[in-house]
């Protein structure tokens, strides 16, 4: 039952995070946000392997977004740094710490304005 509730919550979080992104720039930033939300949720649930998978997906999209939007470069660089830390911690089986870095990455993605 908790897994179902968590899955629903992840979906809702991903929806609202992606809704904050304007339609014109919805591409990679939206994907990065969605995967970061998934990584954070899995980290908080103690699922390091799933957190790692989604953090890597988010990182790839964040790098693409940074390249697409040079003006928001600084925040996307910060987001990328935190996602790389999230990946390291997930690989070391530290899902809680991975979730913290993913959350910081998400803050910077939001601040990037895309």
**Tens digits of per-residue pLDDT, 35-64?**
999 999 999 999 999 999 999 999 998 888
Q: What is the CATH number of the domain that holds 55?
A: 1.20.120.660
Count of domains observed in the chain: 1
Rounded to a whole number, what is the distance in angstroms from the first to the last CA of the chain? Answer: 35
**Chain centroid to CA 38:** 7
Residue 113 phi, psi (nearest 5): 80, 10
Range of the domain at 63: 2-111
Query: How many angstroms separate the CA atoms of 83 and 102, rounded?
Result: 6
Q: Which pTM does this prediction carry?
A: 0.53
pLDDT one-digit tens code per residue, 5-43: 666 656 666 555 554 444 445 688 889 999 999 999 999
């Amino acid at each position: 039952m908790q897994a179902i509730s968590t899955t629903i919550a992840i979906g809702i979080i991903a929806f609202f995070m992606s809704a904050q992104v304007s339609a014109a720039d919805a591409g990679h930033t939206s994907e990065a946000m969605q995967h970061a939300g998934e990584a954070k949720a899995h980290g908080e649930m103690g699922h390091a392997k799933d957190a790692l998978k989604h953090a890597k997906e988010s990182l790839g999209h964040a790098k693409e977004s940074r390249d697409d939007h040079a003006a928001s470069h600084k925040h996307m660089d910060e987001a990328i740094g935190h996602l790389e830390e999230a990946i390291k911690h997930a690989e070391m089986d530290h899902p809680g710490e991975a979730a913290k870095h993913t959350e910081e990455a998400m803050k910077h993605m939001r601040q990037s304005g895309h």
